[in-house]
Structure 1
Amino acid sequence: MATLPLTPNGKVDRKALPAPRPGDFEADQNYIAPRDVVERKLAALWEDVLGIHPIGVKTSFFDLGGRSLLAARLFMRISRTFGKDLPLATLFHAPTIEQLAHKLRPQATATSYATLVAIQPGGFKPPFFCVHGGAGSALFLHRLAREMGPDQPFYGIEPEGLDGKRFQRTTVEQMAAHYLAEIRKIQPEGPYYIGGYCFGGLTAFEMARQLRRQGQQVAVVALFSASLRFYRAAQKQMPAAAVAPKSRTALTRLMRLVRSPRQTIGWRVVSWTRTLQTKVRRNTIRLFLALGLPVPQALRTMYVTRMLSQAEENYAPGRYDGTLILFRGQGLYENDPDMGWDGLADNFENYEIGDGGLLSRRDIMNEPLVGLLAKQLSACLERARDVGASSCRETKFDRSVAASSSKASAMPVIETAG
């Protein structure tokens, strides 16, 4: 593009940006062709799934614009082709065709599904541990880990169930205790720096509470787009206009049917079909688990998501005697800026990322906003290391604007323009 599209106020209009094309991720100039049968089969799968041709055996999946959904599709194809079930997290230490081929050769040892995933194990700073989102995989965290720099060790945490086996820990409290046990194998004592995305924010919060009860120091608890949807300490009153009476909803449906019966009936058929498909898949999952068999790979994300959703619905958070740091996209939560966390911690800090125009809560974890998120998170970690606490209220950023808070305790909202 010769110029970037702008909004009326002069900011980049991300909604008007064109979608990336396969040509935008062409293989680098140091192209090395596949050299044996395994690499050739892998290359064909990569090129088909990513829509890029050719792909050299030394080119990273992440450099090609690979994302979690594409990785899931790729690994299902790999499982069918090679008969081996590899975790998506394998891409962290085997991101190229050459490296992944070593995992698929007949003499290769089986790769296990680990709870703690070393996304970036090197570095001299205290490690940061980040809990998975509602779908389970921690693969999307690679961008944030990369932006944090090579000096910051970064570990992702993944749940049970990704291997298709039955969940042994079904509550947030049990998951938090298990994750802490894994973390303490690497870092036996605090201070701890932990965080979580979406559902992972709840788990990180509970982990911090358990660490406090064990007498451990928690330096940072970072919540990324983590909304507390149930059991809020301060229930938010919804505007009357936002709650439509059932009679009005029924009338709207009837009027829609009268105006365009064919389209309305078509929508209903699609809805019923999807509902039926969901029921069939859920029953298939139950059947496999009842028989003691692993859930098929194509159904594992659904299984994990459902189990995590049930855990979220049953979790009633207690109070945390420390500081919570919330990072959220600007413009997505204007009617719920604290996302339910106000009243649950001694101190609460709220940071906005971006300049508006976001499409989803995941946007802050992706380009171009993930760099801004990493900058603010790094500053919070640095301040916590320097002063032995998790406050970063005085952090300064280029083009940052401090906004007032609704709390008397002066919880800052920092808006960082993109």
Structure 2
Amino acid sequence: MEVVLNNTTIDYPKEKPLHSLVEDSAATFPGNIALRFHDTTLTYSQLNNTANQLAQELLNNGVKPGDIIGIALDRSAELIISLLAVLKSGAAYVPLDPEYPKDRIEFMLDDSAATILITSTKYKGHFASNTTEVLVEEALTASKNYPAENLKVDVTGQSLAYVLYTSGSTGKPKGVQIAHHSLVNLMYSFQKTPGITSKDVTLAVATISFDIAGIDIYLPLCSGAQIIMADSITAKDGRALLDIVRNEGVTILQATPYTWRMMLEVGWNEPLPLKVFCGGEALAKDLAEKLIPLCKELWNLYGPTETTIYSIIKHITDPNDITIGWPVDNTQVYILDEEKNNLVNGEIGEIFIGGVGVAWGYLNRPELTAERFIDNPFTPGEKIYRTGDLGKLKPDGDIVYLGRIDHQVKVRGYRIELGEIEHNLGKQEGIKQAVVIAREDTPGIPRLVAYVVLESGQTGVPEKSMLDKWDEALLAVLPEYMMPDDYVLMDVIPSTPNGKIDRKALPKPDYSHINRSEKYVAPRTSNEKLVTDIWEEMMGLNKISIFDNFFQLGGRSLVAVKIMARLEQETGKRLPLATLFEHSTVEKLAARLEIDAEAITWDSLVPIKPQGSKMPLYIVHGAGLNVLLFNALAMNMDDEQPVYGLQAKGLNGIDEPLDVMEEIAANYVEEIINHDPVGPYAVAGYSLGGLIAYEMAKQMLAMGKDLKMLAMFDTYADQTQRYDSPVKRTIDNTWMFIKQVAYTPVLFVQDPKRTIEYKSREVGRRIQKVFKKLFPDKVKKKEGFSAYTDDIHDRSLTAQKNYLLEPVNVTIELFRAKKKTFYMNDFKFLGWKPFALKGVNVHDIPGEHNTIFAPPNDKQFAKVLQECLDKAAKQN
């Protein structure tokens, strides 16, 4: 049995590096389409030539063969070009998905000792590390004058291709080192079985930090086939993926069972000429039953990262006979007992893998490498990898996968070391012990459940504030897919007679009480009743409150797909999956069903009044972050006047808020130019937003854009004190305080009631600020929208405090509130005179700072603003 199973030796070009196979494709199929991403299409010749030029630029930037290069780019054509360029330069890359936690990416960069980080302007300066940052946009521009021919760099099959980090049981990810020849062998093997030709069209959906992305990218490129690359949002949307497969002639798609289930849930019910590669986790019988009649071929693929993506594959034709099959070329598989005896008669043992796919080991982890990569007892001088998976041999030689020996699991297609979650959860204050397991109490929907013993001895359901604290701490160090779905408080963790944790004895959570809002509120409208009924059915929960949060209830993309599909079925409205990020409670999602699709967005650019033929006005939010303030103003302007708002990044509670003024402004400028590349432009800012608008104008003018108007809605030009000496800061602040106190009686005479209200609120804010610093544990933590708007507000203030105002060759239209509620050094120009080199035009508007948009002030404000806009639009 052993001889038959492992008779896989076959010649392959072991001295060739991986990228040389792509170069061969470019020579054989120069005009074939190699890559499509959105509106970008590259032939093999264009892709190979551009990668050659970028590789030369990297070499000129000091990259040497053997270096390790980090790559943190969004899914794009530039990502593929950069991967090839690094390989062509003789270096190895560390793939870094920018959506992963910042701390995790920085750990990988430091641990790998990466010399250079290739990233984009979007992430410029975002990752703190010892690397030299190379912006791909600049590097591609600089490389255009280099020769396009293939480089003559000494790269062989024995050179390192990449270091890919996987979850670590000790709390730290571990870097797996894969050589070129291991990948070349796999490509040659896969070209034959399952098979691929230059006529195939593949759809790439795997994140670059998942090793199976190597099949998505290199298998088609080594074969002359075409890749359609899905962006990160599309890759998570079963409907969008199914549309691409149906409409773009996709013939091969590799995905995890999780993704295949998503596509089935949204209505895939007709046979397609599609070769299905199913990998990443175990293929279930029910999934195979559904896929077999709908696809051309179904392949079950198995292999750990440590043995180069996939080591064992099987063509599945019978859902009652699911195995992982036979080894790929030049690969040996053994089923061993604890004494390393080879079990060939159907006994259950651990799966060990040998052959040319075996990695070098873990980077900088010699002890762990020695533990997992052991001497091959059957072939002296070689290593085999112990997978930690249980398996057995069928009489016909097929290998059956039987799950994990240890506590590493596969959830939603990701390999997860539960120990890493336990390690980070155990570090939280008040937690005595934490055990995490994967449960599948609802078939097809695995959930990570954390069982926690508190020092206080509390049991039952954790308090919501406690859950929020733990989730926040874990999200700082772990990817979202490793977050526990449920928490159970216990007085003691059950153990076996020999003292080990008895994971099988851990109780099923009471899902009816997990992560609920503090008070149950029943549905009030027909749409709330519809959404509640669907959530309860799809999530297996009872009595969902309209204020319950989808994600806190354990909701994930697979359930989201089902919910959106059912909502579409019931209402006829097709909502994107991202809607659940924006409207994550029953109340909000139900309200979303009642509102026009264009009315709400979490993009920075918000269409408040998009119709009209006049020059659009773009208004930046104030410190309150609320662009809804501008609605009344917009509605009172001319019918042909378009108005857009700019809201802060991160309002959805998912995106990372920005805290550098130049970055905030650049984000908004990018959104405006993407919406209207030509112009002309009118930009305004309210309060804090005025400073952002000023920086936006500065950037737009530097870009040569036609900026017709820059407006300030009662914004004072607060100059940062960051660059002043401590003595100057003390003198200025003291003098300012004296003048404020002296001016208070004047304000009191003008409007005593409003002055008392304003001063009382200011004193209250200062007391609250001091209280927060002295007693942070006693401050009631805000939740949901309020929590992350506070975070964005704080970061915006940080940006303001660090922002140095510099004179700009621009005119400022200053809309100044007539009523003053506080002292200012410059009541006339609000401090803008030194910075607007073309002058400041003052327009008085009714109200005070916080009421200029409120009725009836909004009508007068709109009239003055419209006159100013119309005048600006006519200027040359």
Q: Does TM-score exceed 0.5, indicating one fold? A: yes
* Paired residues of 1:129 and 1:195 also in contact (CA < 8 A): yes
2:700 corresponds to 1:211: yes
* Paired residues of 1:38 and 1:101 also in contact (CA < 8 A): no
Return the offset for 1:272.
8.6
Matches within 5 A, 1:4-403: 36=526, 38=528, 79-80=547-548, 86=582, 100-102=592-594, 113-165=602-654, 167=656, 169-231=658-720, 241-242=738-739, 274-275=771-772, 279-280=776-777, 296-332=784-820, 336=826, 337-345=828-836, 346-354=838-846, 358=847, 360-388=848-876
Q: What is the rounded CA distance, in whole Å, between the counterparts of 2:528 and 2:737 in structure 1?
A: 61
- Provide closer, same or farther for how the CA distance between residues 281 and 204 of structure 1 changes in structure 2, counting only shifts above 3 A: farther
Return the offset for 1:79.
4.3
Q: What is the rounded CA distance, in whole Å, between the counterparts of 1:113 and 1:334 in structure 2?
A: 35
Q: How many residues get paired?
A: 272
Q: What is the rounded CA distance, in whole Å, between the counterparts of 2:778 and 2:842 in structure 1?
A: 39
Root-mean-square deviation over aligned CA pairs: 4.0
- Provide closer, same or farther for how the CA distance between residues 299 and 192 of structure 1 changes in structure 2, counting only shifts above 3 A: same
Percent identity (aligned): 26
- Provide closer, same or farther for how the CA distance between residues 278 and 376 of structure 1 changes in structure 2, counting only shifts above 3 A: farther
Give the aligned partner of residue 50 of structure 1. none
What are the Cα deviations for residues 52-100 of structure 1, in whole angstroms up to 9, with x where unaligned?
A: xxxxxxxxxxxxxxxxxxxxxxxxx954377755369xxxxx9xx9863
* Paired residues of 1:120 and 1:150 also in contact (CA < 8 A): no
Q: What is the rounded CA distance, in whole Å, between the counterparts of 1:281 and 1:201 in structure 2?
A: 35
Q: What is the rounded CA distance, in whole Å, between the counterparts of 2:769 and 2:800 in structure 1?
A: 27
- Provide closer, same or farther for how the CA distance between residues 339 and 162 of structure 1 changes in structure 2, counting only shifts above 3 A: same
Q: What is the rounded CA distance, in whole Å, between the counterparts of 1:348 and 1:272 in structure 2?
A: 35
SS at the partner of 1:190? coil
Return the offset for 1:180.
0.7
**Residue type of the partner of 2:802?**
N
- Structure label with greater radius of gyration: 2
Q: What is the rounded CA distance, in whole Å, between the counterparts of 1:171 and 1:307 in structure 2?
A: 8
- Provide closer, same or farther for how the CA distance between residues 78 and 209 of structure 1 changes in structure 2, counting only shifts above 3 A: farther
- Provide closer, same or farther for how the CA distance between residues 272 and 179 of structure 1 changes in structure 2, counting only shifts above 3 A: closer
Q: What is the rounded CA distance, in whole Å, between the counterparts of 1:101 and 1:325 in structure 2?
A: 40
Q: What is the rounded CA distance, in whole Å, between the counterparts of 2:856 and 2:740 in structure 1?
A: 35
SS at the partner of 2:819? coil
Q: What is the rounded CA distance, in whole Å, between the counterparts of 2:527 and 2:677 in structure 1?
A: 45
Q: Normalising by structure 1, what TM-score?
A: 0.56
* Paired residues of 2:720 and 2:800 also in contact (CA < 8 A): no
Return the offset for 1:226.
0.9
**Residue type of the partner of 2:831?**
G
* Paired residues of 2:714 and 2:814 also in contact (CA < 8 A): yes
Return the offset for 1:101.
3.6
* Paired residues of 1:132 and 1:197 also in contact (CA < 8 A): yes
* Paired residues of 2:609 and 2:642 also in contact (CA < 8 A): yes
Q: What is the rounded CA distance, in whole Å, between the counterparts of 1:272 and 1:225 in structure 2?
A: 25
* Paired residues of 1:128 and 1:154 also in contact (CA < 8 A): yes
What are the Cα deviations for residues 289-320 of structure 1, in whole angstroms up to 9, with x where unaligned?
A: xxxxxx73331221111010000111101111
Return the offset for 1:271.
5.2
Q: Which runs of 5+ in 1 are unaligned?
A: 1-33, 43-76, 89-93, 246-266, 286-294, 389-418
* Paired residues of 1:132 and 1:199 also in contact (CA < 8 A): yes
Return the offset for 1:102.
4.5
Tell me which of the two structures has the higher relative contact order, counting C-alpha pairs closer than 8 angstroms and 6 or more residues apart. 1
Q: What is the rounded CA distance, in whole Å, between the counterparts of 2:851 and 2:662 in structure 1?
A: 28
Q: Normalising by structure 2, what TM-score?
A: 0.28
* Paired residues of 1:122 and 1:153 also in contact (CA < 8 A): yes
Q: What is the rounded CA distance, in whole Å, between the counterparts of 2:736 and 2:774 in structure 1?
A: 35
Q: What is the rounded CA distance, in whole Å, between the counterparts of 1:331 and 1:213 in structure 2?
A: 36
Moved segments of 4+, more than 4 Å: 39-42, 81-85, 235-241, 270-274, 280-285
SS at the partner of 1:320? coil
Return the offset for 1:168.
5.3
Return the offset for 1:40.
9.7
